[in-house]
Structure 1
Amino acid sequence: MIIITTPTGAIGSQVLHQLLTDPSATSEAIRVIVRDPDSLAPSIRDRVEVVTGSHGDRAVVERAFAGADAVFWLVPPDPHAATLEEAYSGFSRAAVEAFTTHGISHVVGVSALGRGTPQATRAGLVTASLAMDDLISRSGVAYRALACASFMDNLMRQLPSIRDHGSVTDTLDPDRRWPAVATRDIATTAAGLLLDRDWTGSSAIPVVGPEDLSPTEMAAIMSEVLGRPVRYQQRTLEAYAGSLAGFGLGSAFVEGMVDMMRAKDSGLDAGPHRDSTAPGATAFRTWCEIVLKPAVDA
Structure 2
Amino acid sequence: MESNYILVLGAGGNIGGKVAQELVAQGAQVGVVGRSRSRLSRFEGKAEILEGDFSDDVFLHHALQKASSLFLTVPNDVFSDVSATARRLARLLQGTAVTHIVNISNSIIRRAGKPTGLVALEEELNKCLPQHLLHLRCGNFFENLNWGLHTPYLPDLKLPYISSYEVAHTAAQHLLQQDFTGKQAKALLGERDYSMAELAAAAGVTYQQLPYTSENIHFYKPFNESDFEVEPRSAKYEPGREERFTLKYFLIHDLKQNL
**Partner in structure 2 of residue 280 of structure 1:** 241
Taking the aligned partners of 2:112 and 2:107, their CA distance within structure 1 comes to 9
Per the alignment, do residues 2 and 53 of structure 1 end up closer, same or farther by CA in structure 2, a change over 3 Å counting? same
- Report the Cα distance in structure 1 between the residues aligned to 2:84 and 2:112, rounded to whole angstroms: 20
Mark the CA change 1:120 to 1:182 in structure 2 (over 3 Å): closer, same or farther: farther
Within 5 A, what are the aligned runs for 1:13-92? 13-22=17-26, 26=27, 28-41=28-41, 44-78=43-77, 84-86=79-81, 88-92=82-86
Q: Does 1:236 align with 2:205?
A: no
Work out whether 1:136 is the aligned partner of 2:125. yes
After TM superposition, list the pairs within 5 Å mapping 1:142-157 onto structure 2. 142-157=132-147
Q: Percent identity?
A: 23
Q: Does structure 2 retain, via aligned residues, the 8 Å contact 1:56–1:94?
A: no
What CA distance in whole angstroms lies between the structure 2 residues aligned with 1:29 and 1:9? 19
1:217 is paired with a residue whose SS is helix
Q: Distance in 1 between matches of 2:71 and 2:9?
A: 6
Residues 18/267 of structure 1: CA separation in 2 closer, same or farther (3 Å cut): farther
Superposition TM-score, scaled by structure 1 size: 0.75
Counting matched residue pairs gives 250
> 2:242 matched to 1:291?
no
Residues 122-160 of structure 1: CA deviation (Å, up to 9, x unaligned): 36xxx22112111221212111111011121011123xx
Deviation at 1:176, TM superposition (A): 1.5
1:272 CA displacement: 3.1
Q: Which amino acid aligns with 2:203?
A: M
- The Cα shift of 1:171 comes to 1.7
1:93–1:231 Cα change, 3 Å: farther
Deviation at 1:263, TM superposition (A): 3.4
More helix per residue: 1
Contact map agreement 2:102 2:133 (CA 8 A) in 1: yes
> Runs of 4 or more off by more than 6 Å in structure 1?
none
Inter-partner Cα distance in structure 2 for 1:3 and 1:258: 37
Shift of 1:206: 1.0
Deviation, 1:113, is: 1.3
In structure 2, the partner of 1:210 is 191
CA offset at residue 75 of structure 1? 0.9
